[in-house]
Chain A
Amino acid sequence: MANVTLRNVRKTYLGGFEAIKGVNVDVADGQFCVLVGPSGCGKSTLLRMVAGLETVTGGEIDIGGRVVNQVEPADRDIAMVFQNYALYPHMSVYNNMAYGLRNRGMAEAEIKTRVEEAARVLELTSMLERKPRQLSGGQRQRVAMGRAIVRQPKVFLFDEPLSNLDAKLRIAMRVEIRKLQRRLNTTSIYVTHDQLEAMTLADVLVVMNGGQVEQVGNPLAIYEKPATTFVASFIGAPPMNLMSIRQDEITSQLGDGRASEAGILGIRPEDFVITDQTPVGGIALPLTVEAIERVGAETFIYGARAHDEQRIAANPGELPPGEVIVRIPGTEAPAIGEKIRVAAVQAKLHLFSSDGRTRIEI
């Protein structure tokens, strides 16, 4: 049991490349913290710094009230689950789990109790004598989990542990990990590039980009009030529609000077309704339907705006310029080529400064 605090943590490689540019995160005892961001954003590097596998070139990493910058991984009392599981291929499942305990000089009887308990929880009891290569991907994943939990460490670290599993198993394991963490109540830091995984697992969500933290907070709070256009387009699928506002019809609709500070307007696909009305203080857009995607419970409408050049570019999960996604429930949808009008109420509008770095509250 411990809290993890990162104070202005930095990582600069020998060549001068700055991978982590000053990160401040506070994970309270027993919380599940998820680091999410596109590949290359430094989230894995940051996790490996907490684990002690990468040196810290600036700032402090504090685990349970002790600064661990110079402490060996073995002495940090952490356990880590790797993306490729990193099981010891020459050891049986039992020995894989027992290895860390033996290294710490625990009595064999106690080791046996702990490993068998972990195996029972993870439904690995019948596989204890097998070698990793005789296991399926999901089973290996569970052994890696088992190896972490038998140690009863202060902190669990997960480095994209589900990305090698197929979609169905990934969802099942996601739920398992969350249940297990709730039950053990061990502080956890989890790295993923999958925003859905991040949203569903996190108590505290840390959105990273380019070695910096973009936003920290409760996942739903981040979803509802993204601090930057990066967060707005990264969290949520399909991504938020981002449009520049100034000259065109949107400016005139927003009126009363708010738009003068803002440069970018964001509206989530699900916040649009197809209507001829314009809500007071809200916004309406005429669209030409270009494509329809029906996925059963909901339908995505890809529409083109009249002023194509107004689309904001250069964010992950990006739409082509001038395109707007509208998400409506059910399967009723307009025909392709039809001209429709969509509207969103004022409470659902997100305004950002022109550089996308600041959110402007309406």
Chain B
Amino acid sequence: MQKQAIFQARLLPYVLVAPQLAIVLIFFYWPALQAVIQSFLLQDAFGLSTTFVWFENYLELFRDPSYFAAIVRTFFFSFAIAVSSLSFALLLAVMADKPLRGSILYRTLLIWPYAVAPPVVGVLWIFMLHPSLGVLSRYLRAMGVDWNPLLDGDQAAALIILAAAWKQISYNFLFFLAGLQAIPKSVLEAAAIDGARPMRRFWTVTFPLLSPTIFFLLVVNIVYAFFDTFGIIDTMTRGGPGTSTVTLVYKVYSDGLLGGNLGSSAAQSVILMVMVIVLTGIQFRFVERKVTY
């Protein structure tokens, strides 16, 4: 059977894909190439002369303890954000999956936060938890917590993780809910008749059957925590206090655009680019394999 359409004209297919190709080339490949070239260059402080330094920018980075700290911090943030938002989303999805009155309404409400842009999320949480403006900060202090994320690096980190995880819950919830609804009801009924109580049913049947979804979301969440948290960090802490919330992505921005060290910033972007490629590769390979249990 013929499954592919055959174009008679030779030129037409190229004309049809040209707009898409142009966008990809101009907005993706060209900047990526620029970054690679830039990462081999070193500019003087006044931007008057540029020298080609081979891998000096990269070597410099690996010798820099603050870069190493940013790597560790980014991994920690990713892990914390992924685990907290995944587990909370799963909890919500399990509860929303129950046949209750008005389920469509609260399912919709649970999905809403995903429509909020990351910088807006940052502002929202600042309004709640800013040491002097925040509504919740007053209660925290009333309870005896010395709450000041503008001075305390750990609290700032916790705030970033909280805001970033909160935003991602909706996305995870959506996938978990779909995953839960894809599990045949009769399998859970069979487990109930087989004498498994609800908790045991969850851990021995539901959870293993959700494992493909969980793995997929884990990769997506790590990618999100790596890159999409920029807006949240920039609005909430700008990397501070000190460098306690500077992640790899934020460092690219602060070193390059704020610090003016374009060569190092470009080298950092190239490293991030490689990480994205690896993560995306893992995800694609996984998505191709449909069944894992």
Contacts and interface: CB of A to CB of B under 8 A. Distances in A.
Interface of A: 51-53, 72-74, 78-80, 82-84, 86-90, 99-100, 103-104, 133, 147, 151
Interface stretch (B85-93, B124-132, B137-145, B190-198): B190-198
A83 B187 CA distance: 11
Contacts of A90: 208-209, 211, 293
B208 A103 contact: no
Contacts of A80: 189-190, 193
B192 A86 contact: no
Looking at A53, A88, A133, the one whose CB has the most chain B CB atoms below 10 A away is A88
B291 interface: yes
30 contacts: A52-B192, A52-B193, A53-B189, A53-B192, A72-B192, A73-B193, A74-B192, A74-B193, A74-B194, A74-B196, A80-B190, A80-B193, A82-B189, A84-B186, A86-B186, A86-B189, A86-B190, A87-B187, A87-B190, A88-B205, A89-B187, A89-B293, A99-B196, A100-B195, A103-B194, A103-B195, A103-B200, A133-B291, A147-B190, A147-B194
Contacts of B186: 82-84, 86
Nearest to B188: A86
Interface string B195-227: 111001000110011010000000000000000
Given A84-B186, A99-B204, A89 B209 contact: yes
A103 B184 contact: no
Contact of B184 (A84, A100, A133): A84
Contacts, number: 62
B204 A74 contact: no
A104 B200 CA distance: 12
A51 B185 CA distance: 14
Task: Kindly list the 7 A-B residue pairs having the minimum CB-CB distance in the complex, ordered from nearest.
Answer: A100-B194, A90-B293, A86-B186, A103-B195, A86-B190, A74-B195, A90-B208
Contacts of A84: 184, 186
A86 B291 contact: no
A133 B286 CA distance: 19
B209 A79 contact: no
Nearest to A51: B193
Given A74-B196, A103-B196, A88 B184 contact: no
Looking at B192, B197, B208, the one whose CB has the most chain A CB atoms below 10 A away is B192
Contacts of A79: 193
A104 B184 CA distance: 23
A82 B187 CA distance: 9
Given A74-B196, A88-B205, A89-B209, A82 B190 contact: yes
A150 to B, nearest CB: 10
Contacts of B193: 51-53, 73-74, 78-80, 100
A103 B282 CA distance: 37
Contacts of B209: 89-90
Contact of B194 (A52, A53, A99, A133): A99
A179 B226 CA distance: 62
Contacts of B200: 103
A88 B187 contact: yes
Nearest to A75: B195
Contacts of B192: 52-53, 72-74
Looking at B186, B194, B197, B200, the one whose CB has the most chain A CB atoms below 10 A away is B194
Contacts of B204: 99
Nearest to A144: B190
Contacts of A82: 186, 189-190
Given A82-B190, A90-B211, A147-B194, 6 more contacts: A82-B186, A84-B184, A86-B184, A88-B187, A133-B291, A147-B190
Nearest to B192: A73
Interface string B163-197: 00000000000000000000010110111111111
Given A86-B190, A99-B204, A74 B197 contact: yes
B187 to A, nearest CB: 5
Nearest to A105: B195
A37 B172 CA distance: 44
Given A103-B200, A133-B291, A86 B195 contact: no
Nearest to A48: B189
